[in-house]
A and B are shown apart, each in its own frame.
Chain A
Amino acid sequence: MIEILSNVALATVQDLGRLGSLRFGVGTAGAMDDLALAAGNLLLGNEAGAAGIEIPVFPFKLRFTADCAFALTGADCGARLDATPLLPWWSHQARAGQVLTLGLPQGAQRASRALLCLPGGVDVPEVLGSRSTQLRGAFGGHEGRALRKGDVLRAAEAQRACRTGFGLVPPAFALPQEIGGLVALRVLPGAEYLGFEAASRDAFWAGEWRITAQSDRYGYRLAGEALQPVAPMELRSHGIVPGVIQVPHSGQPIIQMRDAQPSGGYPKFGTVIEADLWRLGQAPIGSRIRFIETHWDEAVAALEQKEAWLAKVARMVALRRSAPMGAAA
């Protein structure tokens, strides 16, 4: 069991999302960095989609009230178990009473969200096929809300012995994608792409976009050269998905993120492809990003590359876990 010691809001229980209830108005929710969650789960021998804890605000502290294995992925937060520094993207073993502290994200590849995985996943009830926290409507996750001080959570397989003490090269290094030192995201042009001025379209691909402070799990509001429509567009409400780049009348785009609503009506400039959403999920507020135009074949291939990386992680973990005790690093 773990007990949350910090009074910071916004840490939530997330899995890979609630995928089948869009027609009831229920968005997917799910981890902002799905790759970090899946990798953390694999490190512990969990299903890739088991529920973990997404932590976006630091410092964050929790106490293990019983012996428990855990994995830390996502942002490198200079984690400590009591006084002992912990490696990021690594599996660890805690003893009862030990305190885990996550500090500010650090390192050359500064990310913004840490993921904590536990054996068997965080034990919360499945609601509409998922354990992700649905903040709007207040269900799923831990009591349908962000975690707070005093909350106690259980690992679904708390007693399972896990081999720990090994880790991964983070995907930001293994699958880099940057332009001029900025995180770059591949975008498939959307239905209203050609409804924008040619100069605006050019500026979108050529320019840098700042992630403003009004950005969260619902969406990232960007700042850059305003995107001008050829004529105003007022659309009928239609289904949308995380990654869709909407352009409200202000011309400053909003990228829908994991807590996005499942429908909308603003013009769609394009969609950040599913395979790159984890990169965006880790881009900090205030940082600048770039966009790369892509096409269907490349976007599908990118998903396969992501799956191939996870498959490689799974093979590496299987080797570690089957090695004789004492042989693990």
Chain B
Amino acid sequence: MTASTPGPVPTLSLLGTTALLFEAPGAMELHSQQRIWALAQEAAGWPEVREAVPGMNNLMLSFVRPPRTLDALKARLEAAWEAVTPLTREGRVVELPVIYGGAGGPHMADVVAHTGLSVENIVELHSAPLYPVYALGSHPGYCYLGGMDPRIATPRRKVPVLSIPGGAVSIGGAQTGVSASAGPSGWNTIGTTTMAFFDPARNPPATLQPGDRIRFLVEGIEA
């Protein structure tokens, strides 16, 4: 795997005429994500921005309608990034019991093969951290988590799986997360848990917010 290490300056790229993607420079870490949260809060109020959507050390701005030229928006974004004060959030801690491996973790063998570690080692490394929620994405209520041990990083699958169930605990590249409902995924599923992450009738509809933290409790390991 070639880890993408963004260059020394932020990069900006287009997602058609629908959105602009800002990627922070440097290593993926919480301090940088706190700047992303702050940048999102600020950019959400700009007139051409429909929504500011934090990712993993990056920020997507969707347009109300695409500006005729992008120079002014790009300059404003870069200046705001330099000036921004990191937004620290100490959210609540949520503990999730996980059954690792077995039928609920069909790709554990791929993580073993890629990392060269035993199942027990992988479980130990995966369940050790208190993972901060960096951002929501993928599907309703899904949380992207920071802080996974790089020793269990495993590339996304060559061909995405057409459907994995809700509650699937998985690894994609250097990241980990829990699926909130059944659907397609390119990640490696190593375990399963239960949790209601989303209710469209609530405001906000997602259970967890950026800044909340998740701990995985080992409920069992299956062969």
Contact = CB atoms under 8 A, between A and B. Distances in A.
A254 B186 CA distance: 12
Interface stretch (A43-51, A70-78, A157-165, A231-239): A231-239
Nearest to A244: B15
A240 interface: yes
A284 interface: no
A239 B14 contact: no
Contacts of A218: 184
B205 interface: yes
A234 B155 CA distance: 7
Given A136-B183, A263-B137, A24 B70 contact: no
A239 B53 contact: yes
B14 A236 contact: no
A243 B19 CA distance: 11
B180 A241 contact: no
A21 B157 CA distance: 27
Contacts, number: 196
A163 to B, nearest CB: 32
A261 B55 contact: no
B173 to A, nearest CB: 5
Given A24-B141, A25-B140, A235 B14 contact: no
Interface in B1-25: 1-4, 11, 13-19, 21, 23
**Taking chain A's interface residues, is the majority helix, strand, or loop, or is none over half, making it mixed?**
loop
B57 interface: yes
Nearest to B60: A239
A220 to B, nearest CB: 13
- Chain B CB within 10 A, most for which of A136, A271, A273: A136
B140 A20 contact: no
The 10 A-B residue pairs with the shortest CB-CB distance, nearest first, are A239-B60, A263-B137, A271-B16, A191-B13, A238-B55, A137-B140, A236-B56, A241-B18, A139-B200, A249-B158
Interface of A: 19-27, 127-128, 134, 136-140, 188, 190-191, 214, 218, 231-244, 248-250, 254, 261-266, 268, 271-275, 296, 299-300, 303
12 contacts: A22-B51, A25-B180, A26-B205, A190-B15, A232-B2, A233-B2, A234-B173, A238-B23, A262-B53, A296-B17, A300-B68, A303-B66
